[in-house]
Structure 1
């Protein structure tokens, strides 16, 4: 089955029911299905080949989801693109992943000039929400009224490439992650198995659709669910939307959950419709988790995954969060292996370790990616001993509960986003007053980890930290910009002169009484 076949399943079940709601706008499944066919026909007429790659660069918007469905309907490969990333990172990824057609929201229209210079393979730029001169054509001007369905041009075989995610490497250079029809089937099946819905879900998309919230919304459409789209995460708006639309399910990273708990209206609104709030992507404070259960109800659903094995390698559903005494039953656990994944703890020699011993979390099964795009060396490296290596150090107990306790690499997870120190360091080092720097993640109640740059100034220089942060924000975008800059006389170094990031981290994590 193709990804679009899952949408069609939902459309058959709920053709006259709401598919998407955004503000005062609502479209039924029949209407969204018709628009997906129209977009697919327009793409095909424009020369978009079967299996070609297309991306949507936009914040949360109903038309952005429709464009994704149109790409899939045209038997294209959907390339996930993050509109919040810096323009240079987007240009690198769009070129690396051979994007042929790019749908662009007017909010990021000014980036097209850079893409035209650095992404020669992009053949067409399509304006999503309104006409603007930087694009080649406005989407609505491409559409023709017709009842003719778009032709199916690929077989839908389970090994066909369905969508391309991306994940940074230890050097900060992203890699394309190939996810097939088989991977999508495993993801949808695992989600439904771990979070069975009592009624067709009403899925609130408040986190960025470029992250986990987007694929999860598409998965909910397979069940005939309604997707309520908010342009951004705003706690009062989230509470109001849950109450108004009787939302049953949403995904939020821990930092957003903390902000939601701080919103006064969350304690007075009627949130009884909620069945699941799925959280992942960063360590969650146990105190905040218990508070969330107390305030929001027994609806918290933990999971562990990564782009290469999306979202639900393990899961801990709501009913397994608390014991009979009302306390956290498995504090700090990310759950047990889902029904379609084999998960183990492995040492450096490829031996499976017994319960209680720390090692790398490895996984097998249909959820694991087909490989890194045009990068067989990296694919082989992450697949040694016949297992996918997550890069996370964990431990399993006797009952199969997994706990993430450390990371092999220097990656920082802040607010649910993967951030790689080397890329941030390069931006900081570009400042003329900086001699050297080390970027680390430090414990933070809001973000899970806050990005901090520890900076050694050039001799005689005085670091203006606010100016340095502003320069970093211009280069990196808001997600990767450090939350703070610390200035030190000299960074700790090894005998070989290498900056010891681990020493800087250890001081701050130990002081916070945490291992991760």
Structure 2
């Protein structure tokens, strides 16, 4: 063992259970678990895993919907010094088989109905241990029976760890090829938890409740670590389906004070009539990240919810920890005192630079690649030296996003480097075009992508979704943009769809929009 610089992150749950044994840790549907109950279940799961030969450094694949078992497996993996490898529950069996192969997982927790996923993992030669929730088959073990049959371990049984010991393989969404496993460590995540508490939702205590609207496999799981550290209640939606009415009902019932979401989900919450039927005055921190939030949507959310919006910019690799825009930095007024259009300034202890292609810092106002360094940066991609070399050039982590800093240090994101297209020799950033389209009163959502053009190389195509009960045409959108954008930035085609394609995390990947345009044979 090296110097005593890291605590086992699983002890966040141990400590809170000792301090607040009777406080509600988890609410899911009608069920409630106190911190003492949750911790006892996690400890028995630790004993069961160890008895089956799963321990320090082993990878535990988890393919499950949000629920108590998924939450428990996360904490158990941490406590025994194993590595939690959660998946997006919408992945196919073949995709989950690939993740098992990449991580060389030794155990699998699968939810009911995912037998085919377990078969794909086994066929890949991994996960001799399979725990199944509710529908175990021959050769698998029933999750609740495993817990019931395990003896509690002694107190303070958590594995000793050092700062750089991995505890979570955070799979990137793989927009540029196959997903990569970003290695998160005990020391790094201890910083992230502390920073979230300081910068995103200061003042959280056991009197707070946090509603989970996104999969625990990614940003929402990171968010809940801080809630457990402070003894706040975690509230899960009762079913896999995102039910806006139920979300607002839970906010009122549990006096929810914070929630983590993405702009598309926040827009759905604000647009739904249920927002006016339930009391949401308890909300202090409604955190949104993962994609740009357009100014028109931001204003509507502020009007409905009041001054509780918190924006951050952060990737899995920097674990949600690059910038923050606090509630008092959001404004309905387009006032120069507020950084309108910014995703915030650097998080405490983190450094941001805009670098050119030669790796030189650019001055304020100049666009280049957003790069970052500090204790929230991950330990690298698992067994992927080529990706690591590219990501860590010149002592910075390169995000692949483009943007600029202003003189005060507020960051403005232009878009993914891969989203930018070049039309007739000029760079076009879709974000700017989308902002202009969304000022049309009949447009609810839109996405702009570059598509091959016989004369200009590439030109913009916009896919728009009209607001409920309203209609919009291609001609109306193009007319709306006439005086708002330079000619070369204006899309040449506009298609009207009922909905935009979305990823499992509620984002709108440009690749999926391009695929659908191609499938529908829409060309210039």
TM-score, normalised by the number of residues in structure 1 = 0.79
Match of 1:508 in 2: none
Residues 171-192 of structure 1: per-residue CA shift (max 9 Å, x gap): 4211111111122012111111
SS of alignment partner, residue 217 of structure 1: helix
Asked if 1:206 corresponds to 2:213, the answer is yes
Deviation at 1:54, TM superposition (A): 0.4
**Are 1:226 and 2:230 matched, yes or no?**
no
Contact persistence 2:172–2:316 (CA under 8 A) = yes
Structure 1 runs (4+) deviating above 6 angstroms are 323-328, 411-414, 477-481, 488-492
Any residues of structure 2 matched to 1:10-21 within 5 Å, and which? Answer: 10-21=16-27
2-structure distance, mates of 1:444, 1:221: 40
The farther-off stretch of 133-142 and 44-53 is 133-142
Rounded Cα–Cα distance in structure 1 between residues aligned with 2:419 and 2:334:
38
The CA distance in 1 between the partners of 2:337 and 2:135, in whole Å, is: 52
Show CA shifts across 1:142-161 (max 9, x none).
22364433764642211111
In 1, are the aligned partners of 2:48 and 2:146 still within 8 Å (CA)? yes
In 2, Cα distance between equivalents of 1:85 and 1:327: 44
480-489 or 279-288: bigger deviation: 480-489
Residues 253 and 443 of structure 1, relative CA distance in 2, 3 Å threshold: farther
Query: CA offsets, 1:11-57, max 9 Å, x none?
Result: 23321100000011000000000001000000000111212110221
- 2:380 maps to which of 367, 371, 378: 371
Matches within 5 A, 1:228-377: 228-230=235-237, 231-232=239-240, 233-322=242-331, 329-377=338-386
Residue aligned with 2:16, SS: helix
SS in 2 for 1:39: helix
> Helix, strand or coil for the counterpart of 1:405?
strand
1:165 maps to 2:170: yes
Could you say which structure has the greater relative contact order, defined with CA pairs below 8 angstroms and 6 or more residues apart? Answer: 1
Please name the residue that 1:41 is paired with: 47
**Structure 1 residues without counterparts, runs of 5 or longer:** 415-420, 422-437, 448-468, 493-516
Describe the SS at the equivalent of 1:203.
Answer: strand
**Match of residue 486 from structure 2:** none
Deviations 1:51-102 (A, max 9, x none): 2110221111122111221222222111121111222222111210111111
In the other structure, the counterpart of 1:177 is 182
Gaps of 5+ in 2: 1-6, 421-429, 435-448, 450-457, 468-498
Matches of 1:145 and 1:100, distance apart in 2:
20
Kept after mapping to 2: 8 A contact 1:258/1:446:
no
Q: How many residues align?
A: 443
**1:431-488 alpha-carbon deviations (Å, 9 max, x no partner):** xxxxxxx9x99565799xxxxxxxxxxxxxxxxxxxxx9xx99xxx998794644468
SS of residue paired to 1:215:
helix
Select 1:139's aligned residue among 126, 140, 143: 143
TM-score by length of 2: 0.78
Change (3 A) 1:198 1:87: closer
